[in-house]
Structure 1
Amino acid sequence: MTLHDRLTRALAAGQGRTIDLLEDALAPEDGPLTPAAVLVAVTDRAEPGVILTQRTETLRKHAGEVAFPGGRIDPEDDGPVAAALREAEEETALSRAVPQVVGTLDPFRTRTGFSITPVLATVPPDLSLVAQEHEVAAIFEVPLRHLLDVANHVERRVEWEGALRTFYEIPFPGRRIWGVTAALIVNLGRRLDPAALAA
């Protein structure tokens, strides 16, 4: 069974379960949220990995943070899948024809007013990706097993804007994976059925 088939089965089985998914506790209660999408690209190798980016330090928002390729859904995009593929192509030169889409995950609301839909897909290993210099400082891969291991989901708390905020951090050598990106990963792990993924 291919990795794409295993992920498809694991997502389908997971979407039939009632689970506790993360939401940003400080997400705005009123007003419209800006729809956005990110690509969770899993490399199809014996030990699958997930492609992540490090944002440049010059960006106005989330400078220097680890993120999935992605961004807001434009009016011209045909939904979150098209937006995630377009953004990944713009940020990493990953041709939008390459990823094999598995499906979409539960949207995540952010404190900054976005509703982010993760798009899960598989891609061939060892792609020649190129960072978009103004937005992406680095492109790297983290083993899927490491990201989904609950032992690596470290819960942190911090006082922020007068409220106690809880967030997750996932340790990985040389990188700090935290905040929204870590929350999306934790939700991915909770949504995928581990038995279906392992079989």
Structure 2
Amino acid sequence: MLFGEGPQGPDLLFTERSHTMRSHPGQISFPGGSLDPEDDGPVAAALREAEEECGLDPSGVDVFGALPEIWLPPSNFAVTTVLGWWREESPVRIVSPDEVHAVLRVPIDVLLDPAIRVTMVHPLGFRGPGFLLPDGGVLWGFTAGLVSRLFDHVGWTRPWDEGREQPVEEWMIVGRGNEDRPIPAYPVPNSEFPEGPR
């Protein structure tokens, strides 16, 4: 979970996962991935993965903590969320198209807007927080839960209508029919995106 000082104020760095991935295709998430044998723990893995996925220069990040490990049954993964401050920003872009469809910097003020907050309802009945981003993207699932809990914990959450429900649609789960969705409106301003499909 990387905090930075973006052009529209403090923001968070996200990636939109490739729509062809087997797990969580097209979902908006924090950069990250599995621990490799050469990684010296979760912090090293998080920084390496962010560099591999979106070109983040780890030397510009001050890591200030990590959340307790959380087990995710749907993914069969134990996740450790690493918290960092983007002290010295570096250009970020899609480095691994097989893993990343888009790189986003979403202003925290946008995420705090009660008008975009919803309760996501999964077809199997699971419910959780969601954020309907102004560009049409939907932040939901594990990442949305982390963001929501963080905002609650630090006292930033603004009152919102928790009864406002949004179904988790099929494309959000399996990624089918989602390849032509427009690129989110929060492309990183210092990115070097090529023209054409991303």
Whether these two folds match at TM > 0.5 is yes
Cα distance in 2, alignment partners of residues 109 and 149 from structure 1: 29
- Structure 1 residues 136, 124: CA separation in 2 closer, same or farther (over 3 Å shift)? same
Q: Does 1:44 align with 2:27?
A: no
2:119 is aligned with 1:155:
yes
CA 134–159 in structure 1, closer or farther in 2 if over 3 Å, else same? closer
**Cα 1:107–1:145 shift into 2, 3 Å:** farther
Residue 157 (structure 1) shift = 2.4
Change over 3 Å in CA distance of 1:149–1:76 after alignment to 2:
farther
Map of 2:15 onto structure 1 = 53
Q: Give 2:109's aligned residue.
A: 145
Residues 44 and 154 (structure 1), Cα distance of their counterparts in 2 relative to 1, 3 Å cut: same
Q: Where does residue 170 of structure 1 map in the other structure? A: 131
Deviation at 1:85, TM superposition (A): 0.4
Counterpart among 63, 86, 107 of residue 123 in structure 1: 86
After TM superposition, the score normalised by the length of structure 1 is 0.68
Q: Does 1:98 align with 2:60?
A: yes
Displacement after TM superposition at 1:93 (Å): 0.7
Paired residues of 1:108 and 1:184 also in contact (CA < 8 A): no
Moved runs in structure 1, 4+ residues, more than 2 A?
Answer: 106-109, 124-127, 145-153, 156-159, 190-194
Whose helix fraction is larger, Structure 1's or Structure 2's? 1
Q: Which has the higher contact order (CA 8 A, sep 6+)?
A: 1
User: Could you state the TM-score of these two structures normalised by the residue count of structure 2?
Assistant: 0.68
Counterparts of 1:16-35 in structure 2 under 5 Å? none
Q: 1:117 to 1:148 in 2, by over 3 A?
A: farther
Letter in 2 for 1:122: W
Aligned to 2:77: 114
Q: Quick one: which of 34, 37, 40 aligns to 1:72? A: 34
Q: Which residue, 129, 146, 155 being the options, matches 1:184?
A: 146
Say if 1:108 and 1:150 are closer, same or farther in 2 by CA, change over 3 A.
farther
Q: Identity of counterpart residues, as a percentage?
A: 36
Q: Quote the Cα distance in structure 2 between the aligned partners of 1:148 and 1:75.
A: 38
Does residue 83 (structure 1) correspond to residue 67 (structure 2)? The answer is: no
CA positional deviation for 1:152: 4.2
Unaligned runs of 5+ in 1: 1-39, 195-199
How many residue pairs align between the two structures? 152
Alignment CA distance shift 1:167-1:71 (3 Å):
same
- In structure 2, do the counterparts of structure 1 residues 78 and 92 end up closer, same or farther at CA, with 3 Å as the change threshold? same
CA displacement 1:132-171 (0-9 Å, x = unmatched): 22211111111123324566442122332xxx21122111
- Report what 2:187 is aligned to: none
Aligned-residue Cα RMSD (Å) equals 2.1
Structure 2 residue runs of 5 or longer lacking an equivalent are 157-198
Q: Give the residue type in structure 1 aligned to 2:76.
A: G
